[in-house]
Amino acid sequence: MKLNDYLTGILEEKKEQGLLRSLRRVETPQDTHIVIEGRKLVNFSSNNYLGLCNDPRLKQAAIEALKKFGTSTASSRLISGTFSLHQKLEEKIAEFKKTKSALVFNSGYSANLGIISSLAQSEAIIFSDRLNHASIVDAIILSQAKFLRYNHNDTEHLESLLDKYSDTEQKFIITDTIFSMDGDKAELKKIVKLAKDYNAYIFVDEAHATGVFGPGGSGLVEEFGLCEEIDIQMGTLSKALGSFGAFVCGSKALTDYLVNTSRAFIYTTSLPPAVLAASIKAIEIIKEEPQRRSKLWENIEFMRGNIVGMGLDCLNSSSAIIPIMLGDNNLTMEFSKRLFESGIFIQGIRPPTVGQGKARLRITLTATHTKDDLSRALDAIKINAKELGLIN
Ligand SMILES: *Cc1c(COP(=O)(O)O)cnc(C)c1O
């Protein structure tokens, strides 16, 4: 069979199952109000939680760094690609996260790949929450360690697995702190206790918690007061921080080890100056402007309360991510399309991003949504949920 015929066949199949995906063209900066292919929308589908992606101060910092240091480092970190900005950002992150050391990676995806695969040896066992991010799944496969999934947030199941494999020397428990599709929190305190009882290391992914949780905005680990207990923390600079890239933080031995062994850190060009400067500025703003986080939390509580009040199912979401569970793929995409046509952008999420029968609308909120933006969305959700027979 010709390659094109083979590929077209697979695409046709996806279309029949309501699973075909395509790209949308955004014609404005990422912000609360955007234009997609000519249509003006209130945006509930970005990870721009604090509204920083289009902030003039981040842009200015990026422009200055670009002028001073150019467009690219044109080198990997270990050759000639470690600039003062990389070190400054790493110092800022370590201070922000209250850890001894931090190391920057080029994206959250490559950080997970590079950290997990270099730490876990093939004799290790990794206990991973079933709903962990795809990059964690890929990282574990790459590590060649034994891969055990425990049911989502089910610490009893986790304990039974830890117990079964208690003789194994190297054990890692890996969890997102905020789950990217359900928007709920990991049972971090219980996981820390289990890790102690069973001598396991803990790796957490703070992608959706960084900038959103904790008194200083550094994440859920800070909120739970567990900075000392977690061995390896990863977070992204690409969501609430409005920039790009990711980091790992923990002990100095951890970051030195990764500099020496992590292939996703070593064999790639380092992040460019403009991106680093924007990240540094974002961390400063997060410290200086806690009101952004309070506004975001006000929006989260208002929105979630109203949606649950309509009789729709938002799972246990307790973050800026609010799912509206629908189940059926085509129903989900129809709902999303109707909202889009009424000026509200809420992405529909289907398998394989979520499990079979778990299709949903996925709302993400930002600090920059106004009450008017939220009310418009709520009205549109209510009208369409009624028309689609989901509520009375
Ligand atoms: C977004 C995300 C990543 C990937 O981060 P990028 O910087 O976008 O590559 C990793 N883990 C989780 C939980 C995420 O939500």
Note the pLDDT tens digit of each residue in 166-184. 999 999 999 999 999 999 9
DSSP for 158-200 reads HHHHHHHTTT-S-EEEEEESB-TTT-PBP-HHHHHHHHHHHT-
- Judge if the beta carbon of residue 220 lies within 6 A of ligand 1: no
User: Ligand 1 center to residue 19 CA distance, Å?
Assistant: 22
Collect all residues with Cβ–Cβ distance below 8 Å to 156 and sequence separation of at least 6: none
* The pairing of beta strand 33-36 with beta strand 101-105: unpaired
- CA 139 vs CA 9, 48, 69, 111, 259: distances in Å: 30, 25, 33, 9, 17
For this structure, is 196 an active site residue?
no
Q: What is the mean pLDDT of the chain?
A: 97
High-pLDDT (> 70) share of the chain, %: 100
373, 44 contact by CB (below 8 A) = no
Average pLDDT over residues 109-123: 97
User: Ligand 1 center to residue 236 CA distance, Å?
Assistant: 6
- Atom from ligand 1 closest to the CA of residue 132: 13
- Atom from ligand 1 closest to the CA of residue 245: 7
- Judge if the beta carbon of residue 234 lies within 6 A of ligand 1: no
pLDDT in tens, 130-155: 999 999 999 999 999 999 999 999 99
Name the pLDDT band for 19 (thresholds 50, 70, 90): confident
Average pLDDT over residues 108-130: 97
For this structure, is 180 an active site residue?
yes
pLDDT in tens, 201-248: 999 999 999 999 999 999 999 999 999 999 999 999 999 999 999 999
Residue 197 reports pLDDT greater than 90:
yes
Paired tokens of 126? 């990794």
Average pLDDT over residues 4-25: 92
User: Ligand 1 center to residue 109 CA distance, Å?
Assistant: 6
- Judge if the beta carbon of residue 55 lies within 6 A of ligand 1: no
350, 18 contact by CB (below 8 A) = yes
Question: Which position among 92, 97, 208, 358 bears the catalytic label?
Answer: 208
- Atom from ligand 1 closest to the CA of residue 244: 7
Residue 185 reports pLDDT greater than 90:
yes
Name the pLDDT band for 17 (thresholds 50, 70, 90): confident
Q: Is the previous residue joined to 352 through a cis bond, with omega within 30 degrees of 0? A: yes
Name the pLDDT band for 122 (thresholds 50, 70, 90): very high
Question: Which position among 97, 133, 171, 239 bears the catalytic label?
Answer: 239
Q: Is 273 exposed, middle or buried (0-12, 13-18, 19+ CB in 10 A)?
A: buried
User: Ligand 1 center to residue 234 CA distance, Å?
Assistant: 10
Note the pLDDT of residue 161: 98
Q: Which residues of 356-384 are buried (b: 16+ CB within 10 A; e: fewer)?
A: eebbbbbbbbbbbbeeebbebbbebbbeb
- Judge if the beta carbon of residue 205 lies within 6 A of ligand 1: yes
Note the pLDDT of residue 275: 98
DSSP for 65-125 reads HHHHH-S---SBTTTT---HHHHHHHHHHHHHHT-SEEEEES-HHHHHHHHHHHHS-TT-E
- Judge if the beta carbon of residue 208 lies within 6 A of ligand 1: yes
User: Ligand 1 center to residue 200 CA distance, Å?
Assistant: 24
Collect all residues with Cβ–Cβ distance below 8 Å to 236 and sequence separation of at least 6: 107, 108, 111, 206, 207, 210, 245, 246, 247
- Judge if the beta carbon of residue 206 lies within 6 A of ligand 1: no
Give the alpha-carbon dihedral of 42, 47, 48, 50, to 10 degrees. 110
Note the pLDDT of residue 18: 78
- Judge if the beta carbon of residue 180 lies within 6 A of ligand 1: yes
- Judge if the beta carbon of residue 118 lies within 6 A of ligand 1: no
For this structure, is 239 an active site residue?
yes
Note the pLDDT of residue 135: 98
The protein residue whose alpha carbon is closest to atom 6 in ligand 1 is 108
pLDDT in tens, 251-275: 999 999 999 999 999 999 999 999 9
Question: Which position among 180, 238, 243, 319 bears the catalytic label?
Answer: 180
Residue 195 reports pLDDT greater than 90:
yes
Q: What is the amino acid identity at position 382?
A: K
- For residue 128, the SS3 value is strand
Q: Which of 268, 266, 212 is nearest to 236 (CA)?
A: 212
- Judge if the beta carbon of residue 106 lies within 6 A of ligand 1: no
78, 259 contact by CB (below 8 A) = yes
Output phi, psi for 97, to 5 deg: -90, 0
The protein residue whose alpha carbon is closest to atom 4 in ligand 1 is 108
- Judge if the beta carbon of residue 176 lies within 6 A of ligand 1: yes
User: Ligand 1 center to residue 105 CA distance, Å?
Assistant: 12
Q: Is 31 exposed, middle or buried (0-12, 13-18, 19+ CB in 10 A)?
A: middle
* The pairing of beta strand 246-250 with beta strand 232-236: antiparallel
Average pLDDT over residues 32-39: 97
- Judge if the beta carbon of residue 132 lies within 6 A of ligand 1: no
User: Ligand 1 center to residue 188 CA distance, Å?
Assistant: 19
Name the pTM for this structure.
Answer: 0.97
pLDDT in tens, 37-93: 999 999 999 999 999 999 999 999 999 999 999 999 999 999 999 999 999 999 999
